[in-house]
Amino acid sequence: MPASRLTDPEALHDMLLFRLSRLTAIGGRPVVQMCEKEFGVTRREWRILAELALQQGMLSSELAEQTGLDRAITSRIITSLVQKRLVVRIPRPSDRRQVPLRLTQAGLELYERLLPRVAAFNRELVSVLSQSEADILDDLLGRLQTQARLSR
């Protein structure tokens, strides 16, 4: 069986990470514009809000790991979200180094208004796939993420 472009790349445009990056850049552009223009948050702020909506009380370091963002960038994003009153820091008197984060009511409301809109973009993007193709892609992406973690 001949090698595919992905398994035996000959140029940058053949490589999986380049292709995924291009897909994210092209496919994510409308989401970024909507987040910024209609909701006043950046794509990274949206990512942090969405993670906190799933698990309130996360620490900044946990959010950095979960979102795949650098810790310093994550810290700046959190500061911005606190200034926008979308996130609040919950100090622990016993350990000032670890400060859990929670969405404010405004942060939760923004998340609840934005999630269906982002989900609609996602549905439109994957609409070119059959259900079985979408299931296969989901499985393949999971396996690739696992492999990427093991390859660090």
What's residue 92's pLDDT?
76
- Judged against a pLDDT cut of 80, whether residue 30 lies above it is answered with yes
What's residue 149's pLDDT?
85
Each domain of the chain, given as residue ranges in start order, spans 1-39, 40-116
2 pLDDT band, cuts 50/70/90, is low
Give whole-number Cα distances, 107 to 5, 64, 104, 119, in Å: 43, 19, 5, 18
CA dist 109 and 98 (Å) reads: 26
pLDDT digits (tens, 9 = 90+) for 110-140: 999 999 999 999 999 999 999 999 999 999 9
CA dist 124 and 144 (Å) reads: 23
What is the average pLDDT across 8-34?
Answer: 92
Question: Domain 40-116 carries which CATH code?
Answer: 1.10.10.10
CB 111 within 8 A of CB 102: no
**Nearest by Cα to 34 from 124, 128, 126:** 124
